[in-house]
Structure 1
Amino acid sequence: MQAQKFALKRQQSISASYYRGGTSRGIMVRREDLPSDQSQWDSIFLGCIGSPDPYGRQLDGMGGGISSLSKVCVVGPSSHAEADVDYTFVSLGIKNSQVDYSSNCGNMLAAVGPFAIDTGITSVEGEKRNEEQVTVRIYNTNTDKIIHSSFPVIDGEAAASGDFTIDGVSGSASPIQLQFIRPAGSRTGKLLPTGSTTDTFGGITVTCIDVANPCVFVSASQLGVPSDLTPQQIDDHPTLKSTLESIRRMAAVKMGLAQTEDQTPGSVPKIAIVALPVDPSCSNVEVRAMSVGQPHKAIPVTVALAIAAAAKLKGTTVFECVVKGNSANSPTVIHHASGVLGVDGKFSDSGELESATVLRTARRLMEGKVFWK
């Protein structure tokens, strides 16, 4: 059989780095290296990541066949008065051509500060430097929020080695503190977008909350499932994923994120199952999160931040599932599919969520050029 002939052309390329951020990996690109016309970005990102791939493996690109490995981050200098760099997060579909700018990614956010330092987008010199610790102020364009990323530097580069570990990632690394400043109302402008601590969709009671990303939390007991499901068990369940997706779409309309259920973005609102902890001695709450229709292997950082806030709001589904700490200011320790994660949410006396803080790690894996056809 004679092969069909096509016009020959060179591959296209762009300068990029490849980082692990938290329990995710993604392509990091400087904004200055992209076309000024943002409408041209989608085809570049899809080509670099290897989507759409009907086989679901993204073998012809840098993706890894699951949502936590199908990501691009765009970083550049900021004109925002309270930030050093701007960060735009892009979630790419795997089997489809979806390019989603609707949410922030807290795991890849851990890589933004180190990438900005490593590539010279911002400097470690000046008032931001405190001995070996540097703070990069990040403006997330997706959610119009400020995050402070603090981490050690060595010889002008973000430190990678250290003894801090996060569940879901092998080995240890240098800690990165992410402090989300006034994170409530990232997309809806409200901590409780529906005006209530609970809503009912399809006969199931949930909490809709907007902290770092809009989220929906439903208790395992409402769904009639065990609290300690593995990602594979969620995948194998005959109806659970479709039930969660139906709830998520109904909640999106009620939260004002979509006019109709069919218009609901793939990445927001996030949805997760919550329950009392299996072992109260090691965590305060059990959480199983979904990510773009797939069971998350660990937990999205933004979901964890929303959990920490909802855990302190009486009447929410999360509040009812939390084993309370020794004080109102105790961090919330979440047990997820790969281990535990501690998150701290601080409320003012007037009830405003002032900040939410989490520790992650990140590492530069590769830098050079990424190609697409």
Structure 2
Amino acid sequence: MSYAAQIKIPATYMRGGTSKGVFFKVEDLPLAAQQAGAARDQVLLRVIGSPDPYGKQIDGMGGATSSTSKTVLLSKSTKTDHDVDYLFGQVSIDKAFVDWSGNCGNLTAAVGSFAISQGLVAAERIPENGICTVRIWQVNIGKTIIAHVPITNGQVQETGDFELDGVTFPAAEVQIEFLDPSDDGEDGGAMFPTGNLVDTLEVPEVGAFQATLINAGIPTIFIQAEDLGYSGTELQDDINADSAALARFEKIRAYGALKMGLIQDVAEAEKRQHTPKVAFVAKPKSYTASSGKAIEQQDIDVLVRALSMGKLHHAMMGTAAVAIGAAAAIPGTLVNLAAGGGEKQAVRFGHPSGTLRVGAEAIVEAGQWQVKKAIMSRSARVLMEGWVRIPADSF
């Protein structure tokens, strides 16, 4: 019996923010995988090591968490005044599908660095020393993102003293601007798809909750921690070790997606695990982060815990941080009220690994709230580069 040989695909393994993923130039993928479709999904599933019924992704590059089961496809931009087109694929761990419904804000921090290093940014736009401004078209959500990448001696600077809670070692700071992050695209319409800052979300066999349903950065469902029986200071194991709690959150997510108009039937939520996110918020209080670091009440404005791909995230998704900043900036949302109410241009929120500051500019246009910009700082680093190998009959 003969078996298929392995093929090599040029790839780079990168950390961006509190996530890791495998980065590709689209032109380096097998020809059949250079466009949307089953072949592309099958290539990425095999690279990451999914579907894995053991939930470990041992036979692939994935790390068996939502933060490490990610892929990024980049190409020179087809959009005017943009440098690079960025497409993000969230790979399911135990199921055979890739979710293309949203962005990864954490890996966005690595997109500019990869684009510069791989020749996707015009050489004349890269300073010898200073900051290179990379204009990114985020294909999944149809939005512009600006990455400010430090350059030293004509090369991307990755090392530095910027510390990001949830990441062990310091690195160079990369400032990210999400322009017009409120989603006015085909998925959800206005930033508040129901037209309300706070809704009553009814979830059969679970209960009815006040919720802020927002499209900004990524569609997100915010609920008050106390309404779920939580304090807002929970760490990963407090939620992820409770299978009944995870099942409740998934049901809340499904009915929230239905109310936001993201799906037409709750059964569709199973094939759309990346979006929307579910998060719970509380007024600030002191707690100990997962690293053992003491987070003091006076050092934060609000507590937020968020779930991604069915599990509590170890820190905070970058796109969810945009949603937090946007909701905090708009008086009357549950995030804003938990943060003390009133007008805000920035908040520092507490998450399981520590804290993060995010700024947002919110205005009213034609009677509708709009967020013109959200800003946060992350970091990024190349972990390994070369080729990934997959069996030639994988797609």
Q: Please report the TM-score for the alignment, with normalisation by the length of structure 1.
A: 0.94
Cα drift, residue 155 of structure 1: 3.0
Residue-by-residue CA offset, 1:248-301 (whole Å, 9 max, x unaligned): 111111111111111121010011111111143111110111010011000101
* 1:347 equivalenced with 2:365 (yes/no): no
**Within 5 Å, which residues of 2 pair with 1:1-373?**
6-34=1-29, 35=31, 36-39=34-37, 40-126=39-125, 129=127, 131-185=129-183, 187-200=187-200, 201-202=202-203, 203-237=208-242, 239-264=244-269, 265-279=272-286, 280-323=297-340, 328-348=343-363, 350=365, 351-373=369-391
DSSP 3-state at the match of 1:345: strand
Deviation (angstroms), 1:308: 0.9
Could you tell me how far apart the structure 2 residues matched to 1:124 and 1:321 are?
A: 46
Q: Please say if residues 48 and 61 of structure 1, whose CA atoms lie closer than 8 Å, have aligned partners that are also in contact.
A: yes
Q: How many residues align?
A: 365
* DSSP 3-state at the match of 1:217: strand
Report the 3-state secondary structure (helix = DSSP H, G, I; strand = E; otherwise coil) of the residue aligned with 1:209.
strand
**How far, CA to CA, are the matches of 1:303 and 1:17 in structure 2?**
25
Q: Is the deviation greater in 222-231 or in 161-170?
A: 222-231
Residue 309 (structure 1) shift: 1.0
Structure 1 residue 245 displacement after superposition: 1.2
Q: Is the 8 Å Cα contact of residues 124 and 156 (structure 1) preserved in structure 2?
A: no
**Contact 1:274/1:285 (<8 A) preserved:** yes
Partner amino acid for 1:345?
A
CA distance in 1, matches of 2:166, 2:243: 26
Check conservation: 1:273, 1:289, Cα contact below 8 A: yes
Give the distance between the partners of 2:327 and 2:221, measured in 1 at CA. Answer: 10
Amino acid at match of 2:189: G
Identical-residue share of aligned pairs (%): 37
Query: In the alignment, residue 315 of structure 2 is paired with which amino acid?
Result: A
* Deviation of the 1:212 alpha carbon: 1.2
Q: Which runs of 5+ in 1 are unaligned?
A: 1-5
Cα drift, residue 130 of structure 1: 8.8
| 1:159-189 alpha-carbon deviations (Å, 9 max, x no partner) | 1111101000012110001000111016423
Using the alignment, how far apart are the partners of 1:15 and 1:148 within structure 2? 26
2:380 counterpart letter in structure 1: A
Q: CA deviation at 1:86?
A: 0.2
Question: Helix, strand or coil: the match of 1:239?
Answer: helix
Q: Write the distance in 2 (CA, Å) between the matches of 1:70 and 1:81.
A: 31
Deviation at 1:236, TM superposition (A): 2.4
Partner letter of residue 151 of structure 2? V
Match of 1:3 in 2: none
